[in-house]
Amino acid sequence: MTPLNFDGDVVIVTGAGGGLGRSYALDLARRGARVVVNDLGGSAAGDGADASPAAQVVDVIRAEGGEAVANFDSVATQEGGKAIVQAALDAWGRVDGVICNAGILRDRSFAKLDFNDARAVVDVHLWGGINVSQPAFVAMKDNPNGGRIVLTTSASGLLGNFGQTAYGAAKMGLVGLMRSLRIEGERSGIKVNALAPIAGTRLTNNVSDDPSAPKAPDKVAPIATLLAHRDCPANGDIFMAGAGWFSRCFIGLTEGWSMPDNVTAESLLANWDKVTDETGFQQPTSVIEVSEILNRLLEPR
């Protein structure tokens, strides 16, 4: 197998002071990427700030002979996002990849939702993705080879989880960002994908320092690396990964049932099994393809 080297490509990893982001940053640097290690260094709930987590990861990378710079800005603001991307431009004059990974948790049942907590969660995850990927996307458009953007989603957003309505909404919002940004980036060679990791970290309350632990972040890192690499085989996709398991999650449409004239709620109910039958489901990749499906149904027979 040919090694996947980054040959000096510049990759930004947000939230890389610990957990998954740290594993991503170390794997990228060991493969010759020049890495911006961003981390605000707050608590798991996003309180406070501390420069040491990002600085320590940079120390490890440099001690191993790699190249990295630390950045301590918050992804939660537009200024922070700009500053994170600027750190890459200041250090190396370009950006080839960005892994938007920074995250916090403030779980609460919807009935008892604290709106300030919900806003903070959406600010870090959904706005964090926009704040960082937007200036990175603009910088990548100048690259002859485009770039790679990886947005971190979650099974909680894709599938649902009690107490995580705001977090889930933000994480699914990132899928929406990814799907449209993939279309906008195509002409410039920019590929955009979403990754739903599963790993033992402080967010899941089962941190382990053992890189061979069943759910070690290192067992997710290979797909983050691959999605950030020039040879990334995917664009516009969603992946789930944990414990060395890698799977594609997709959005499908059933063939459905149609009655262009005189459709009623009663006729719809009578045909509900056809609406939901998964046989022959389709995977349209854009709104244009959905319009094409609808137009075909409307063609006179």
Ligand X SMILES: NC(=O)c1ccc[n+]([C@@H]2O[C@H](COP(=O)([O-])OP(=O)(O)OC[C@H]3O[C@@H](n4cnc5c(N)ncnc54)[C@H](O)[C@@H]3O)[C@@H](O)[C@H]2O)c1
Site for ligand X in 73-112 (CB under 6 A): 74-76, 101-104
Helix axes 128-140, 165-185, angle to 10 degrees: 10
Catalytic-labelled residue, pool 167, 192, 223, 224 = 167
Residue 73 tokens, joined? 């800005």
Site for ligand X in 192-221 (CB under 6 A): 196-199, 201-204
CA–CA distance, 7 with 122 (Å, rounded to integer) = 35
Residue 24 among the catalytic residues: no
Q: Is 154 in the site for ligand X (CB under 6 A)?
A: yes
**Judged by CB, which is closer to ligand X: 41, or 146?**
41
Q: Is 66 in the site for ligand X (CB under 6 A)?
A: no
Closest approach of ligand X to the CB of residue 61, in Å: 16
In total, the chain counts a number of residues equal to 301
Query: Is residue 194 classed exposed, middle or buried when 0-12, 13-18 and 19+ CB atoms within 10 A define those classes?
Result: buried
Site string for ligand X, 23-62 (x = CB under 6 A): ---------------xxxxx-x-x------x---------
Site for ligand X in 217-246 (CB under 6 A): none
CA–CA distance, 221 with 28 (Å, rounded to integer) = 9
Best CA proximity match to 95, nearest among 200, 17, 11: 11
CA–CA distance, 7 with 32 (Å, rounded to integer) = 5
CA 253 to chain centroid, in Å, comes to 23
Q: Is 21 in the site for ligand X (CB under 6 A)?
A: yes
**Judged by CB, which is closer to ligand X: 204, or 286?**
204
Contacts with ligand X, residue ranges (CB under 6 A): 14-15, 17-21, 38-42, 44, 46, 53, 74-76, 101-104, 124, 152, 154, 196-199, 201-204
